[in-house]
Structure 1
């Protein structure tokens, strides 16, 4: 009966990697990685930036439990690698972790109570022998962490750590896969995270291998995650328990993002130990992996966390096979990193002809893709054709050598063209009546919500927001005066800044605020209340001095501009301008400003020219020589005039409802507000300042953002507006 069940599951994408070992007919369980505290739902991928990278065609083969007779025999292994090399293969993926056991002597596994059985015939370390022989013969050896998150339910790993198990909503702890009945460990538990990470780093440091590979088991079936630990964690972070529907978008995305965050951190840990290690991933095709396995490998690629991708495409039908080769995800990925597809070379009870193999290899090559075969023993031992004929067939499709060099695999930068970052209504500490707050991690600290301010430039935070990462202190004490009269004082330092999982290219200048006070002429500023300082990230591009807008130091296209938008009561900051996300914006040119040393990019006057202002009950009647700043850092709006004569009989102070106000640029925006006190956003003040630089200056305040999306383009010196009505 079990044989029939497995044969049925082989027909489906999730299970068609084949029966990898007779031992896997027993129940299994998976050990899955804990996601880090940096939640990737803070980053919504859109179109990715791509750049052509020269890469040698991948010609690989997985070496499985079924190949153990060869792997454990030094002489046979030498002959095998030599034969593959003569047929112009260039990569092998030897198994190092499956069925809950390591294929090498592991101190990490021993501490977890896992015994070791897999020595070579001469007592040798099998993995050390494979790596050494592959290196001598010019073939890359990338250990294959096959069972990533799975292990037999009856294994010592599962028995010794029952608190690591996760489950379905009904309490079921197992599912059926090609490997039989398997259970899954909690992917969000810190002890699981540490165990998996320690195993991977042990492989990376214990052997001079060329990298590490993870496959479709570095995931979690969508039905899982209803264990007590995960329910509590999700409830704590979101305020609600997980919904009963495992496909509910927010619940699914939360789990997917946790796994993505884990993979990102795992990649960084590997690169810290061995910068040139190839971090390879072999998942299912994207739509299936994302929907049913919570495996968002395209985001992994875009984050720079994957050096090599091999998508499993086990298909007998050539048309079905070909249709997956031109998926948008593969087209994008192959322009960034070496990319290939996994091809089924046959199983013991299901041979694959050499003609089918050749057709699929040629189809992949025509699309600029490499190939890797599952698995070695089936290359020429399971076919209907003689071994010599099959070997000649491989020689035909791999006619010329293709030598791979691991030295090209250095740490990569993210390749997002644009990302969407959620904005929040409240900060991490001192609260305001209204504001947009975004989460930042500074100097390796925990993410904190700081005020997003389009009316100023520079990152300014209390010292409590800093993590333990090194910072460069300058000893320079600086002051910043905000529009409401608050004076911020503190030292200028340089520190790393991270938004979600994306960091600035280098440390950015940060003001560590240690003192706040009000200007004498504005005694009711925000510092008066004594509430803790929530931090400010000023994203204006008209810097007068350090610190400058830190978004200038985001990698690639993400530094070329931003959009503040809102829909369905959910605000977002879009980083990285593209042709698509600039659609329907009406643009206004800004005036260029002189360059300042140490401030990258172009500087622009943030004040809009030719703004028309009308205030009922004043002499300001469609006056179109005003200037305006669009300021998300100010709760209320204000109009400042240089001469009291412009106000007629109206006195300075808060405007009343009868003083209806209109501000606009013809053909761009037409904003009107009835002064009042609705949530503080339609409060409007009228000020007189003989020292004002402009006859009329308007600060639109937060209320403007309720009606318009706002775009800042520092490359071309433009500000854009898009009405939401």
Structure 2
């Protein structure tokens, strides 16, 4: 959701911009008038002589203000989305619905309609191609399924091909519209053939009441349903070389649905719990909405791979309704950069209510980055809409710099309370000038997030690790997997079975990594695309495909010996020694500048990984510097030794008494903390192994953090190990382990080379038991 600061900044910027425009206009007009007078050209007749005298006195000041305002006018930009300017093509569209097919089955009527729309300065048509469980075009996919086709033209022609051809001849964009999305009549052949594709409510009900009547819902989480919809979309893009595709409020799921066997099993597998009985439970809403969003990200990428400049259009309801009641997180789609234009449906009779909708924060935000329009009701067969209502809504929309989509064609003038000629004359005044659109300008854009928070799960996709933070990722187009987040190492390392079918560039280079527990990982270095939750990396990243795991001779009881499956590691440290490097470097825009790990306090709740450092989310952190390292060829950005120096250690029973010559790492990849002494004399009487409760321990950096723990027996909470290694590189080395993140939020700043610490809760519970 947009922050309050973001919303307020837009309001302030808009106000300042309008004010400056008025000053510029007033000042320039007066300056021009003064210049004309100096040239012997009399100023225009004045109504109020006193106002003229006032203007004469203030004229030098107004001229100066207008000049300065003209210089400053472009400096006010939204606080969140600092994006390069892109052309804003005004949407002037109309939906061609199933009701219109009595008109569009006739070729001559299609030609006349497209010609007339062009003359009235429309620029886009949205012909329906998916409705009631049937395609409105001859589909090889539906034919293979044995589902009949009913929508031939009067001469047997392909109606959609005719509309697209005639629209292009007139210079209009034709964007096929998948009206029904996941909605389908229960009585349709599709529903009858694939009952396992349908989802249901908790009470077993399979239908809901919609504007289209009683309908069932295809399960948007089912891979076969996703494959079917994707194939239809790609068939249209390929068969007609369409200018784009549009999805409306039915590419969603009513919030009461999702209690079918497949979805219950999937949710239980991923979360460890069955879906809650309350369909509006927040976590249950988010899980389902994110699954639909993941599908839309994949669908967008599939469309763009076939036709990069195709318009990926969305026509939803207003955001609160769409997200909470339809699981359609379209604002997140916009921010992810997968929506090329948006037309929000606002079918209201009352002008005040209409204006309230088009002033919503999500519209203010969206129109900053993509062409944005408002869906206006032109009328229905049983509910015609009078011209004054249409005209007032169009005027309000245009005043806010928004485009327009009318629902639907026949109600523009054929089904209306006024005569057709009067309606057409009125529509001619709505768009007095031509504004044709050009899809060649529709270039891919980056996500508009400055920062985003991703959940860190407590359980991996594979294995039985006691504690850890696991980030959900998709690699090479594979299904999402929960992979261990490791702040103590660099690089992405996964088993081969985590890969999907997306392209992979092999290097033929076999690499070896030795983990702190003595596990040796071996496998090939490759490059491929990855996605963090819903967020794709900007370009392919290096990945080690692990095909062999074994233990070192020094640590024969490593994790490889246990037989537990390897759940993968994503190392996000900036102390890269070679390739692999931290894959977070390849995030788009501001998201690559650093991150914050927020732990879960030792509870079963998720932690979070905050990507993208901003002034707001860095508040409250105390910073410690890293030392800069030489760059490595092929590793983007700065390279840092992220081991903190001048760390003070006090360990009861040892010679370390507030000794401040230690080095430390904060490491989510290590369950239990570790202190390593180079000299046995530093350890004093302590022996290597697990420390006891009598060995109270304190680690601190003066003025930055002060962490203490009483060693115990709980893995990941208070167990602490001691090692004496004469071959060690450093006199005193401390790895605080994952329990440290129960006490502190930890920030990693790869731009400025520093690490931040912010206390999460009060000290006093020395063994860091979960708080209730």
Q: Deviations over 1:190-223 (max 9, x none)?
A: 4433333332222222213211212112222222
If the length of structure 2 is used for normalisation, what is the TM-score? 0.82
The 8 Å contact of residues 671 and 715 in structure 2, kept in 1 or not, is answered as no
If the length of structure 1 is used for normalisation, what is the TM-score? 0.87
Distance of 1:422 and 1:430 partners within structure 2: 19
| CA separation of 1:147 and 1:654: change in aligned 2, threshold 3 A | closer
1:370, distance to aligned residue in structure 2 (A): 0.6
Distance of 1:643 and 1:236 partners within structure 2: 48
1:518, distance to aligned residue in structure 2 (A): 4.8
> Is 1:624 matched with 2:660?
yes
| CA separation of 1:265 and 1:648: change in aligned 2, threshold 3 A | closer
> Is 1:610 matched with 2:638?
no
1:130, distance to aligned residue in structure 2 (A): 0.9
1:691, distance to aligned residue in structure 2 (A): 4.8
Partner in structure 2 of residue 74 of structure 1: 107
| CA separation of 1:528 and 1:168: change in aligned 2, threshold 3 A | closer
Partner in structure 2 of residue 282 of structure 1: 315
Partner in structure 2 of residue 104 of structure 1: 137
> Is 1:253 matched with 2:289?
no
Q: How does 1:444-459 map to 2 (within 5 A)?
A: 444-459=477-492
Partner in structure 2 of residue 720 of structure 1: 756
Residue 497 of structure 1: which of 530, 534, 537 is its match? Answer: 530
1:665, distance to aligned residue in structure 2 (A): 1.6
Partner in structure 1 of residue 468 of structure 2: 435
The 8 Å contact of residues 716 and 737 in structure 2, kept in 1 or not, is answered as no
Partner in structure 1 of residue 506 of structure 2: 473
1:405, distance to aligned residue in structure 2 (A): 0.7
Partner in structure 2 of residue 87 of structure 1: 120
The 8 Å contact of residues 169 and 224 in structure 1, kept in 2 or not, is answered as yes
> Is 1:129 matched with 2:196?
no
Q: How does 1:640-655 map to 2 (within 5 A)?
A: 640-655=676-691
Residue 678 of structure 1: which of 689, 692, 714 is its match? Answer: 714
Residue 345 of structure 1: which of 372, 378, 382 is its match? Answer: 378
Q: Which residues of structure 2 form unaligned runs of 5+?
A: 1-78, 762-772
> Is 1:667 matched with 2:703?
yes
| CA separation of 1:699 and 1:226: change in aligned 2, threshold 3 A | closer
| CA separation of 1:436 and 1:152: change in aligned 2, threshold 3 A | closer
Q: Deviations over 1:522-568 (max 9, x none)?
A: 55554554644433221110111111111111222322212211345
RCO comparison, higher one (Cα < 8 Å, 6+)? 1
- Decide which moves more: 116-125 or 157-166: 157-166
Q: Deviations over 1:146-190 (max 9, x none)?
A: 222334444333444444443333333332222233333333344
Distance of 2:303 and 2:431 partners within structure 1: 32
Partner in structure 1 of residue 610 of structure 2: 574
Q: Which has the higher helix share?
A: 2
> Is 1:325 matched with 2:358?
yes
Partner in structure 1 of residue 257 of structure 2: 224
1:404, distance to aligned residue in structure 2 (A): 0.5
> Is 1:181 matched with 2:214?
yes
* CA RMSD between the two structures: 2.7
Distance of 2:444 and 2:662 partners within structure 1: 50
> Is 1:564 matched with 2:600?
no
User: SS at 1:110's partner residue?
Assistant: helix
| CA separation of 1:49 and 1:156: change in aligned 2, threshold 3 A | farther
Partner in structure 1 of residue 388 of structure 2: 355
| CA separation of 1:66 and 1:526: change in aligned 2, threshold 3 A | closer
Q: Which residues of structure 1 form unaligned runs of 5+?
A: 1-45
User: SS at 2:202's partner residue?
Assistant: coil
Distance of 1:670 and 1:100 partners within structure 2: 63
Partner in structure 1 of residue 671 of structure 2: 635
1:344, distance to aligned residue in structure 2 (A): 1.0
User: SS at 1:702's partner residue?
Assistant: coil
Aligned positions, number: 680
Distance of 2:530 and 2:240 partners within structure 1: 34
The 8 Å contact of residues 151 and 158 in structure 1, kept in 2 or not, is answered as yes
Partner in structure 2 of residue 404 of structure 1: 437
User: SS at 2:457's partner residue?
Assistant: coil
The 8 Å contact of residues 113 and 160 in structure 1, kept in 2 or not, is answered as no
Residue 510 of structure 1: which of 523, 543, 556 is its match? Answer: 543
> Is 1:592 matched with 2:628?
yes
> Is 1:264 matched with 2:300?
no
User: SS at 2:413's partner residue?
Assistant: coil
1:235, distance to aligned residue in structure 2 (A): 3.9
- Decide which moves more: 179-188 or 203-212: 179-188
Partner in structure 2 of residue 417 of structure 1: 450
| CA separation of 1:287 and 1:521: change in aligned 2, threshold 3 A | same
| CA separation of 1:617 and 1:161: change in aligned 2, threshold 3 A | closer
Q: Deviations over 1:235-269 (max 9, x none)?
A: 44444443332222233333323322232232233
Distance of 1:565 and 1:468 partners within structure 2: 33
- Decide which moves more: 603-612 or 163-172: 163-172
> Is 1:707 matched with 2:707?
no
The 8 Å contact of residues 293 and 534 in structure 2, kept in 1 or not, is answered as no
| CA separation of 1:184 and 1:441: change in aligned 2, threshold 3 A | closer
Partner in structure 1 of residue 337 of structure 2: 304
| CA separation of 1:513 and 1:198: change in aligned 2, threshold 3 A | closer
Distance of 2:334 and 2:135 partners within structure 1: 27
The 8 Å contact of residues 647 and 664 in structure 2, kept in 1 or not, is answered as yes
| CA separation of 1:589 and 1:405: change in aligned 2, threshold 3 A | same
The 8 Å contact of residues 51 and 336 in structure 1, kept in 2 or not, is answered as no
Distance of 2:574 and 2:511 partners within structure 1: 19
- Decide which moves more: 694-703 or 473-482: 473-482
